Structure 1
Amino acid sequence: MADVAAKAGVSRALVSIVFRGQPGAGEETRERVLRVADEIGYRPDNAAQLLARGRSRTLGVMVTVHQSFQADLVEAIYPEADRLGYEVLLSANAPGRDEARAVEALLGHRCEAVILLGPDAPVADLDALGHRTATVAVGRRVPGARVDSVHTSEGKGVRQVMEHLVELGHRRIVHVDGGRGPGSAERRRAYRAAMRRHGLTSELCVIPGEHTEDSGIETGRRLLAERNAGRSLPTAILAGNDRCAMGLLMTFARAGVDVPGEVSVVGYDDSHLSHLMPVGLTTVRQDAVLMAEHAVRFAMERLDNGELDPREVALEPKLVVRGTSGPVRRD
């Protein structure tokens, strides 16, 4: 700023006024200062200015690498944060870099609040974080923690899937769960409850898995091996999420299994992946835009009033029927 002031022939204080957009400088002087700044390549350090006032105006977001639905959430968070005058800083949870390290990086960069996408940390750890800074968990319930949460009603989503499959005549419906992934426990419970409700307890089968394509591929290979050993394939599979469903579809396609003629496959999330196939994936839609808007709003409201009780919102899911589910084949 001193260099700009010297070359423009004005005081440093006047340069500061121009860059802060405050009154006190004539139009000709303002234009000269901005022109000189452009010539010498000066840009105001907004982060330093905010920190000098005790604010960073930065919202930290923890994201898991390769989770496509979380990418959709991040895309939706940016415009909402921008609308409220906040920048977004991302920190990834990845192999070799756990959630705690990802969150500490955000706090180290002085983020005013953090939004955790699909956290799987213990409730006690999330509660401790919530006492340190404004925290919102997306995709997971955290009862008992000082953390706001935004998620889809997992039970309703699974019930919609099960009603759809049962109406199509399916009885041998298998669920590949998502392990410790966000929403997995609720989806697993809802699947079991739906199978019992429809009188299908004897057909109930939960296959341990993860929210990854590899999990779907492994499950597909396991089911094909069982078929080769004389056991027929299930007629329908509810995957833990869209990525897992994609792995199943890849394995079945390579083995020549007809989907949905021989096996119906349903995912969960309605991430952008579900549209990137010759045959669209039947899945449960989670509204990424609405989830992002709620998460950002919760973070801002907690910054304004840190004494608020923890809040939770469960959004409505919607079954989206595409080409991977169909009626049971009658031989």
Structure 2
Amino acid sequence: MAAERQRATIYDVAQAAGVSKSLVSLVLRNSPSVSAPRREAVLAAIKELNYRPSQAATALAGGTSQTVGVVIDDYTNLWFVELLRGLQEGLSSAGLRIAVSDRTLNAHVESDPLEGFLSTRVEALVLATEPTPAMRFPSHVPVVVAGNRETQVPGADVTASDDQLGARRAIEHLISLGHQHIGHVGGGGGASRLRRAGYLEAMQAAGLSAQVITTSPQTTEASGYQGTIELLDQAPATTAILAGNDSMAMGALAAARDQGLSVPEDLSVIGYDNSPLSDTHLLRLTTMDSRNRDLGLRVAQQVISRLADPKREAQSVSMEPTLIERGTCAAPRTR
């Protein structure tokens, strides 16, 4: 009796159609991101090979997990909440879900923070943190970088808010209110560097003296507190502060309170990121909105596009931030 023909696999389909396994996965999930010619090629190969994916094969199409791994800076910095919301919303159309890892949380047990994701065979990686020398990026896994970073990842797509423009607009807003003694408390990383550059650019353009405190690499509430105490000690005439992010702005507000200053009567404070905590009734923080949900949606599009065409050229997208006026800025009090 003739041997039974071996059952076709997703690898066979990919080879016959001349596409990647990830693209076959997208076709199996009926993703709208696949072009008509490629979809037709995959469907023709499926028919020719009589390919019948099992439920497990569909879920793990191409030996992957239908999962996009997302590496963030720090769970305590809530800037990423809206990013993840937009990312999940955008990926759901392709049947993909996200898994999130804090870069520093498991640093004591994993030398490479990507290793956990790669061992579960994620379809793509989203890097919402600074790349480190320990990170090894395999060529077969698409990478998209969310936000401005000091170190570039070769071949990766990038979507980021224009941090330098945002900081410049924040300072221009404070100047329009009448402030002349404006300080900046920031931290480390690519976004912080660009926000600092935007601050300096706006201050120079207005002919004002700059006062910068850098708490590198931390961008936490605690570092914002300590940086503001230092700034007010060095420049007691300061009437306004641009903080490196909303967490640092919280520290600035606490430092102002402990120094006997009222916000915004004695000291105006602007945060950055428009994180969920900025709109709480307690804070009502004026902040620059990085449009992180929109950023997440755009990152999702880049992930899906790269899965559909792994060989396409890397893309870089810049998004324009906007000022959200709430309750922590006012004209300076006459002293």
Question: Normalising to structure 1: TM-score of the pair?
Answer: 0.77
The equivalences for 1:45-56 within 5 A come to 50-51=59-60, 53-56=62-65
The residue type equivalent to 2:175 in the other structure is V
Indicate whether 1:205 and 2:205 are aligned.
no
Q: Deviations over 1:164-201 (max 9, x none)?
A: 11111111111111212x4111111111111111111x
- Residue 139 (structure 1) aligns with: 147
- Residue 9 (structure 1) aligns with: none
RMSD, aligned α-carbons: 2.5
Contact 1:152 1:317 in 2 (8 A): yes
- Residue 83 (structure 1) aligns with: 93
CA distance in 1, matches of 2:305, 2:61: 23
- Residue 218 (structure 1) aligns with: 226
CA distance in 1, matches of 2:162, 2:183: 21
Match of 1:196 among 194, 199, 204: 204
Contact 1:130 1:147 in 2 (8 A): no
State, as a whole percentage, how many aligned pairs show the same letter: 32
Contact 1:235 1:263 in 2 (8 A): yes
The equivalences for 1:208-287 within 5 A come to 208-209=214-215, 210-223=218-231, 226=233, 232-287=236-291
Q: Deviations over 1:229-282 (max 9, x none)?
A: xx6241111100000000111222234311111111111000001012434111
Deviation at 1:303, TM superposition (A): 1.2
Indicate whether 1:117 and 2:128 are aligned.
yes
Deviation at 1:144, TM superposition (A): 7.3
Aligned in 2, Cα 1:46/1:235: closer, same or farther, shift over 3 Å?
Answer: farther
Aligned in 2, Cα 1:107/1:82: closer, same or farther, shift over 3 Å?
Answer: same
Q: Secondary structure at the match of 2:63?
A: coil
- Residue 102 (structure 1) aligns with: 113
Greater share of helix residues, 1 or 2?
Answer: 1
Contact 2:106 2:113 in 1 (8 A): no
Unaligned runs of 5+ in 2: 1-27, 29-53
Pick the structure with greater CA Rg. Answer: 1
Aligned in 2, Cα 1:317/1:196: closer, same or farther, shift over 3 Å?
Answer: same
Indicate whether 1:179 and 2:183 are aligned.
no
The residue type equivalent to 2:220 in the other structure is T
- Residue 24 (structure 1) aligns with: none
CA distance in 2, matches of 1:52, 1:310: 24
Q: Deviations over 1:195-229 (max 9, x none)?
A: 111111xx2121012321011111233345x27xx
CA distance in 1, matches of 2:231, 2:180: 16
More off after superposition, 67-76 vs 104-113 = 67-76
CA distance in 1, matches of 2:147, 2:301: 16
Deviation at 1:315, TM superposition (A): 0.6
Deviation at 1:310, TM superposition (A): 1.1
Contact 2:131 2:153 in 1 (8 A): no
More off after superposition, 73-82 vs 99-108 = 99-108
CA distance in 1, matches of 2:86, 2:146: 13
Q: Secondary structure at the match of 2:174?
A: helix
Aligned in 2, Cα 1:113/1:137: closer, same or farther, shift over 3 Å?
Answer: same
More off after superposition, 129-138 vs 309-318 = 129-138
- Residue 14 (structure 2) aligns with: none
Unaligned runs of 5+ in 1: 1-19, 21-44
Aligned in 2, Cα 1:222/1:144: closer, same or farther, shift over 3 Å?
Answer: closer
CA distance in 2, matches of 1:270, 1:261: 22
Q: Secondary structure at the match of 1:214?
A: helix
Indicate whether 1:66 and 2:72 are aligned.
no
CA distance in 2, matches of 1:95, 1:144: 22
Q: Alignment length, in residue pairs?
A: 278
Greater length-normalized contact order (CA 8 Å, ≥ 6 residues apart): 2
- Residue 306 (structure 2) aligns with: 302
CA distance in 2, matches of 1:70, 1:151: 13
Contact 2:211 2:231 in 1 (8 A): no
Aligned in 2, Cα 1:233/1:97: closer, same or farther, shift over 3 Å?
Answer: farther
CA distance in 2, matches of 1:302, 1:270: 29
